Structure 1
Amino acid sequence: MSRVGLEGQVAVLPFLESHGYDIRIEESTEVYADAAEMAATDLVVQCVTMSEITGEQTSGLSAAVAAGTGLTGWHGGIADSFRASSDYLHLVGGQFATHPGKEPCERRGGEEDNFLPHTVTFTDLGREHPVTAGIEDFELLTEQYWVLHDDLIDVLATTTHPARPWQPWHRPVTSPAVWARQWGAGRIVVTTPGHSLDVLEHPAVRTVIERGMLWATRTA
């Protein structure tokens, strides 16, 4: 887990507690292979960037979600997890590819080199979906995720990467920024903004994450 991931996880605990959740914090993905524990879990809030996962753990997570356990997270904690696992990618439906950076002459060697101003735009579906309804399009200055994805996701918001002179692509590329996914009896919500605590504290991002946790939670 990344430091920001852990801090972000702690940041959502008061919200979950105020909504009556009994919270258990795990420091590894071993619990995913515990069928009994996963069957008793209504919601997984994952905060694991990159790392590795075993086939047994991936199968356990996928089976739990298919049986009704909700899965959600933000940024690299869910969209850039377990790059070597095609089964995990199949479960969540999308994966971080890159975050384009500033013009080379403006880069100074820090993480800010990848902070670009961009807009998160809600889709027609997003303007009606319980996770995102009523939230207006908003601007961010942070990492802008370029995401590879499949057609089973319900895209609630997008962000567009312009074709700049120093980039190798030749037309704007639109990526999902927030999506929901039905997997068997379970629900998945992925929110790609969330690189740092200030982004998580943005009212729109915070609202999407909080609503996403509630919506993804087991319903039966």
Structure 2
Amino acid sequence: MAGLKALVVRGGWEGHRPVEATELFIPFLERGGYTVRVEGSPDIYADATELAGTDLIVQCVTMSQITAEQVAGLSAAVAAGTGFTGWHGGIADSFRASSDYLHLVGGQFATHPGKEPEARCGQPEDNFLPHRVQLTELGRQHPITAGIDDFDLVTEQYWVLHDDLIDVLATTTHPTRPWHPWHRPVTSPAIWTRRWGAGKIVVTTPGHSLDVLEHPSVRTVIERGMLWATRTASE
């Protein structure tokens, strides 16, 4: 895979530590023969020439803003074959005001339910719940997740709004609890892929903190997802 070009776009809300998080994966890309360019904003998405020569985009930008020109450039590049991937809020909670971006990715963070009110202390841990990530039948066969067993985490459990163009490799189920207003368990995609023109998209929702990204199953999924999404990768 020598000669490939990867673009890492990072920024947005600092709570997800975009610099430190992406630095975990840049050595993996470089060992795989990728030349890696790092940008601190989505401005690069408006550069059609640069994106045309990019085989993979790894995005870690939570919330933040994107212009119509930038999201159009990103979408066109993916449709032409550039891979697009990321984790947690860096891809599933990016650019909330852009419906075109949401359409591209196919799923959007809605919430991460919290602990019972009496157990909350005003810290991020208020939203860390034990939960299981369960592979779908497709996920048990897909090259990104094949051989990975269902796994348990104690971190934010994303509730995602999504469409049915995504191919779900793993899910997580939000149970009913007395302090929450929903009346039955809700299953949400936790890992998915999406075809967009000639391009491939991979979204992994776990990844709130560095320790979660270091979890063997989470890290394996993210790294395999990078390889699978890359323009010249096999199916």
TM-score normalised per structure 2: 0.93
Aligned partner letter, 1:180: T
Structure 2 partner of 1:109 = 122
| Structure 1 CA distance for aligned equivalents of residues 226 and 20 of structure 2 | 17
**Superposition misfits of 4+ residues, deviation over 2 angstroms:** none
- Of all paired residues, the percent bearing the same amino acid is 77
Structure 2 partner of 1:209 = 222
Question: Which has more strand, going by share of residues?
Answer: 2
Structure 2 partner of 1:167 = 180
Structure 1 residues 20-99: aligned runs within 5 Å: 20-99=33-112
| Structure 2 CA distance for aligned equivalents of residues 27 and 107 of structure 1 | 34
Number of positions where the alignment pairs a residue of Structure 1 with one of Structure 2: 220
| Structure 2 CA distance for aligned equivalents of residues 5 and 217 of structure 1 | 21
What CA RMSD, in Å, does the superposition of the two structures yield over aligned residues? 0.8
Q: Deviations over 1:176-220 (max 9, x none)?
A: 000000100000000000000000000000000000000000028
Match of 1:30, SS state, is helix
Aligned partner letter, 2:54: T
Aligned partner letter, 1:122: L
Structure 2 partner of 1:127 = 140
TM-score normalised per structure 1: 0.99
Match of 1:73, SS state, is strand
Q: Deviations over 1:16-71 (max 9, x none)?
A: 01000000000111110100000000000001000010000000000000000000
| Unaligned stretches of 5+ residues in structure 2 | 1-10
